[in-house]
Structure 1
Amino acid sequence: MKVKTLRKQERLSFLPGILLIFLLLPFLALAWLRPAGSGERTPDLELYPWAYLRHGRPLVPGERTASVLAVGDVMLGRGVSAEPDPWGDVAGWFQDADLTLGNLEVALVDGGTPRQAPTGEVQPILLSASPASAESLRQAGFDILGLANNHSLDYGVIGLEETIAHLQQAGLEIVGATTENGAVAPFYYQVNGVGLAFLAFNAVPDPHPLQVCPTGITCSPHPVRWDPAVAAAAITSAKIQADAVIVSMHWGFEYEPWHDPSQEKAVRIMLEAGADLIVGHHPHVVQAIAVNGDQFTAYSLGNFVFDQGADDTRQGLALRAFFDGDGLRAVQVLPIRAGSRPRLLTLSEGAPLLAQVLPPPTRVGFACDKSGCTPANVPQTGHTGLFYAGQIDLTGDGLPETVRREGERITIYEKGSVVWRSPPAWRVVDAALGDPNDDGRYEVLLAIWQRDEAGYERSQPYIVGHRGGEYTLLWGGRPVVDPIQELTVGDVDGDGTDELIVIEEMADGLSQVVSVWRWTGWTFSLVWRSQYGWYRDLILVEGNQTLISVVPASK
């Protein structure tokens, strides 16, 4: 195991962990006189909430732990390059951890040849920064940078080699680039007798993979691609050699506030292999966190240093994670104002963002068979039920298309180009991907509102699919009496075919139900309805049996 000497000041004491934001608010006036990172005082990080404490016990003085500070996307080019001191507002606390990790989403090159898409296709966004940025990262307090992302090859393999060289010359470690023989190489770190292993994977598809390796150039180093079997084997091997494994994951969809089921599947693979902490990035916005026993997942930390201007891209999270000989000991969540000069938000400023990720709502579940459904225990997760984006093979060619809900319309993309968009007259409130009509082909199921001939807006389910070389409406159900609020599809009764699962609002507007419907060959017939109440965030939980999971809500 590679051992690094400790160069950052060790923590001397810990105050009791505070789990809920509202318990912290009375201390705001005394704790904060100005925005964090103003340069005139070092913020007291102990005031921020703990997302995880093993057995609920706060850290105490004298515990032998190793600390890791993890942040999201780091990009020092474009508009950030004009900022003379991007680290000025984090200098007071950023070097507090034993090791600091970030996802470097920029090539550090002096010139170079940018990659290009084939003529006639959309050209990629290229991100580059001065090689001098490597020294800036070291001085800021970074120790290790992840390179497994979709911008590492913006200047080809040669550009990635140059980036690695500049980082290593500055004394920084890297993770997420293959070795000379194409292998996955963890980075090992040890402090206070605690061994840590770091891995990084890129699950964002490369739209032009043939452009990555020019003729005559060996395709190494290369960002480590996500492969479930390879990742599981690497994590298992690393766990044998270290007390804890930290995985940096580049995944998901840009600007989407929620992760998708494929990411949850990847999380299960990594957790079962032994990952203790999974840190996600790529969406450029903050997404949910999840605690599974003593294992922790942050689906997206959002931006840290970036020049994007939309409000949600200006929010980020930093994680302070503590490890001991038994693995993950504690995780603290810090709200960040991302941008060209990031800073730590005060508790009052960051309260809305913290409330968004801590804690997840209590869920109730149902297990079904062909005769109906009964209450069941389900995992507590912050995953929303509303559809935002997903991938599925709609054309039958073996390659998945990307489906996104953009406002109140659904858009289908093939290789980054728009191939279908729902009509403006359809006000889409939710969507699901699957085979709802049991024809052996995947389709998009929509819950829409549309005006009838009398001008009244009515709720209807629609099925859109690809047939005869084009996307078309395959089935348009009649307006329903009880409007559809959310829907999904999946095999919940174990018969090998998908059912339609819906949250319906009763016509009188006084309550809602969760219901299961089965395709009969020309329409859906009702199988089961829950008791009356109010529900939201309908999802399916995969496992030995697919369970229905919802959040009880008030009107």
Structure 2
Amino acid sequence: MRIWLALLLALVSVRAEAADADAARLLLTGDIMLSRQVSREIAARGGLSPWHGLRDVLRGADLVLGNFEATVGASEACEAPKELCFAVDPHLVPLLKDAGFTALGIANNHSGDLGEAGRRATREALQAAGLGAIGSAESPAFVNVRGRTIALISLNLVAGRDGQIDRLPSWQVAQKLRLARSMAEWVIVSVHWGKELADWVVPEQEAGAKWLIGQGADLIIGAHPHVVQPPACVDGKPVFYSLGNHVFDQKYPQTKRGLIADCEINGDRLVCGGLDTRTPEGSAYPALAKAQDSSPTSLAQCPVKAGTPLRVAGQAISPWIRNGAIASDRLVLEGRAEASRWRTPPRALLSAEAGRLAADQPPLLFTLERHASPIDGEDGPRPYVYEVTGHGLVAKWRGSALAWPLLDAALVADDSGQSYLCALHRGDSFIMLDTATPSSTRTQVYAWNGFGFTGVTDGDLATRCAKRFDHGG
């Protein structure tokens, strides 16, 4: 009996160790700025990394993401006021990789300090250092963490020098979240928002968080206030409204406190907590706080279950990602079933979903992909329909034009479960194109006829379609 009990306990221990081995740790930090006094301190300390006190913590995680609030380039290129232009020497970028970072969000009000050339230089410098560079244009990006697919989205709601900004709510952001939700088990949104130096959450942040979660976000991390704001469990999802400064040179006492979102994926659950950091006066080098504050909101009671992967005709479809890579603008899709596995060529995917487009046929894969028109060269979204087989995708319809120029498209279903194409069109037409000026939009429902789409005038479907794109709702 004792032998059997010992064997049972040993088996339980092995299973527990196996479960722990599958657990993944995600660390997400606040604002990082390697310019001004930060770069001077690095030089004064002989090139010592600002993360020398946190390197073991960060390197021990499976995914480390921060907000890179700066632009790679020469400070001489800064326009006035120069003290608010965060130009970073490219030689400092490898410090981020050495610290343990996996990717950096580059959607914020300082990403455009050196114009479009600076944005391009920032992406190139981060990628050359082996880091994912995720701005709004690169969102969603996908990473594989211990066999789980995680989508990363980076948004900026605070206008900078070049005026580039994302808006909530909007069909553009909703489209990013729709693709992320269909391709990943968890969706993380990094968003630059809020009121600077305010340690309280403003109503716009609360409304934005609820909308993002309603569109599919599982975890939200915020930046821009430069001080920590209390995290909360919103509609069952953890929201870190502001993680404060991580590596920055601001001098106010509150800006010397930071928070690292510390999340663990175990099995099919993601649970988050926080690690408090403190930066000494006169320095920009953070360290873990000696006494960790307890979060005012019990995020431990806010677990997030893994999303259901896209499945069509018995095939699980997800992005194929090379080990250690971040996949974004051109995705390779992989299909998996018990007896088959296939991959597609890279494609500029905007959305993907399954639908029963005909009542007497199995579900098909509907995608929206970005391609240049062979007629006029205009780059835009094109709808595709694929049959999913054990050997790959078979195109049933290849991106032909609909009635008007297209902005977005998704599927809507009638009461019987049959799916229809719901299109959000621009207000202009193919006869009188007008892409240079803002115009109104229109929605239209189309039915699949076996070799293309035909417009339908069903009132109930038209209403459902209009609601589908009511500010991305």
- Shorter-chain TM band: 0.5 to 0.7
For residue 62 of structure 1, give the secondary structure of its aligned residue in structure 2.
helix
Gaps of 5+ in 2: 1-15, 300-473
Distance 1:171 1:112, change over 3 A: farther
Counterparts of residues 259-274 of structure 1 (less than 5 Å): 259-274=201-216
Pick the aligned partner of 1:257 from 185, 199, 218: 199
Question: What code does the residue aligned with 1:159 have?
Answer: G
Deviation at 1:138, TM superposition (A): 0.6
Counterparts of residues 501-540 of structure 1 (less than 5 Å): none
Deviation at 1:159, TM superposition (A): 1.1
For residue 159 of structure 1, give the secondary structure of its aligned residue in structure 2.
helix
Question: What code does the residue aligned with 2:131 have?
Answer: L
Distance 1:281 1:59 in 2: 36
Counterparts of residues 76-87 of structure 1 (less than 5 Å): 76-81=34-39, 82-83=41-42, 84=45, 85=48, 86-87=50-51
Counterpart of 2:154 in structure 1 is 200
- Aligned-pair identity in percent equals 34
Counterparts of residues 226-265 of structure 1 (less than 5 Å): 228-265=170-207
For residue 331 of structure 1, give the secondary structure of its aligned residue in structure 2.
strand
Residue 168 (structure 1) aligned with residue 168 (structure 2): no
Deviation at 1:308, TM superposition (A): 0.9
Distance 1:201 1:274, change over 3 A: same
The 8 Å contact of residues 112 and 155 in structure 1, kept in 2 or not, is answered as no
Query: In terms of mean alpha carbon deviation, does 165-174 or 86-95 score higher?
Result: 86-95
Deviation at 1:199, TM superposition (A): 0.3
Counterpart of 1:340 in structure 2 is 284
Distance 2:214 2:127 in 1: 33
Distance 1:59 1:278 in 2: 30
Question: What code does the residue aligned with 1:192 have?
Answer: R
Distance 2:235 2:169 in 1: 25
1:8-61 Cα offsets, whole Å, 9 max, x none, are xxxxxxxxxxxxxxxxxxxxxxxxxxxxxxxxxxxxxxxxxxxxxxxxxx9995
Distance 1:127 1:226, change over 3 A: farther
Question: What code does the residue aligned with 1:317 have?
Answer: L
Deviation at 1:273, TM superposition (A): 1.2
Distance 1:256 1:60 in 2: 44
Counterparts of residues 389-408 of structure 1 (less than 5 Å): none
Distance 1:60 1:71, change over 3 A: farther
The 8 Å contact of residues 235 and 273 in structure 1, kept in 2 or not, is answered as yes
Counterpart of 1:105 in structure 2 is 69
1:251-299 Cα offsets, whole Å, 9 max, x none, are 0011001111111111111111111110001000000111135411000
Counterpart of 1:159 in structure 2 is 118
Distance 1:112 1:156, change over 3 A: farther
Residue 65 (structure 1) aligned with residue 23 (structure 2): yes
Distance 1:252 1:135 in 2: 30
Residue 144 (structure 1) aligned with residue 103 (structure 2): yes
For residue 316 of structure 1, give the secondary structure of its aligned residue in structure 2.
strand
- TM-score normalised by structure 1 residue count: 0.47
Distance 2:79 2:165 in 1: 15
The 8 Å contact of residues 107 and 154 in structure 1, kept in 2 or not, is answered as yes
Residue 300 (structure 1) aligned with residue 264 (structure 2): no
Counterparts of residues 272-421 of structure 1 (less than 5 Å): 272-292=214-234, 294-323=236-265, 326=268, 328-338=269-279, 340-347=284-291, 350-351=292-293, 354=294, 357-359=296-298
For residue 118 of structure 2, give the secondary structure of its aligned residue in structure 1.
helix
Distance 1:264 1:278, change over 3 A: same
Distance 1:283 1:111, change over 3 A: closer
Pick the aligned partner of 2:33 from 75, 84, 93: 75
The 8 Å contact of residues 112 and 159 in structure 1, kept in 2 or not, is answered as no
Distance 1:131 1:294, change over 3 A: same
Distance 2:18 2:202 in 1: 37
Distance 2:144 2:275 in 1: 24
Pick the aligned partner of 2:85 from 120, 126, 138: 126
Distance 1:157 1:325 in 2: 42
Deviation at 1:227, TM superposition (A): 5.0
Counterpart of 1:373 in structure 2 is none
Deviation at 1:239, TM superposition (A): 1.1
Distance 1:292 1:63 in 2: 30
Distance 1:126 1:59, change over 3 A: farther
Counterparts of residues 2-21 of structure 1 (less than 5 Å): none
For residue 90 of structure 2, give the secondary structure of its aligned residue in structure 1.
coil
Deviation at 1:123, TM superposition (A): 7.6
Deviation at 1:112, TM superposition (A): 5.5
Deviation at 1:226, TM superposition (A): 5.2
Counterpart of 2:366 in structure 1 is none
Question: What code does the residue aligned with 1:261 have?
Answer: P
Distance 1:242 1:170, change over 3 A: same
For residue 171 of structure 1, give the secondary structure of its aligned residue in structure 2.
coil
Distance 2:83 2:287 in 1: 30
Distance 1:140 1:235, change over 3 A: same
Question: What code does the residue aligned with 1:336 have?
Answer: T
For residue 22 of structure 2, give the secondary structure of its aligned residue in structure 1.
coil
Identify, as 1 or 2, the structure richer in helix: 2
Question: What code does the residue aligned with 1:169 have?
Answer: A
Distance 1:124 1:265, change over 3 A: farther
Deviation at 1:330, TM superposition (A): 1.1
The 8 Å contact of residues 194 and 243 in structure 1, kept in 2 or not, is answered as yes
The 8 Å contact of residues 59 and 330 in structure 1, kept in 2 or not, is answered as no
Residue 190 (structure 1) aligned with residue 132 (structure 2): no
Question: What code does the residue aligned with 1:67 have?
Answer: R
Deviation at 1:64, TM superposition (A): 2.9
For residue 255 of structure 1, give the secondary structure of its aligned residue in structure 2.
coil
The 8 Å contact of residues 243 and 324 in structure 1, kept in 2 or not, is answered as no
Distance 1:324 1:107, change over 3 A: same
1:41-91 Cα offsets, whole Å, 9 max, x none, are xxxxxxxxxxxxxxxxx9995363332100000011111112332112112
Counterpart of 1:88 in structure 2 is 52
The Cα RMSD (Å) is: 2.5
**Structure 1 stretches of at least 4 aligned residues deviating more than 4 Å after TM superposition:** 58-61, 222-227
Counterparts of residues 488-499 of structure 1 (less than 5 Å): none
Count of residues paired in the alignment: 275
Distance 2:266 2:149 in 1: 8
Distance 2:106 2:165 in 1: 6
Distance 2:221 2:158 in 1: 15
Counterpart of 2:440 in structure 1 is none
1:220-272 Cα offsets, whole Å, 9 max, x none, are xx675655332222112201100000000100011001111111111111111
Distance 1:224 1:169 in 2: 27
- TM-score normalised by structure 2 residue count: 0.54
Distance 1:59 1:305, change over 3 A: farther
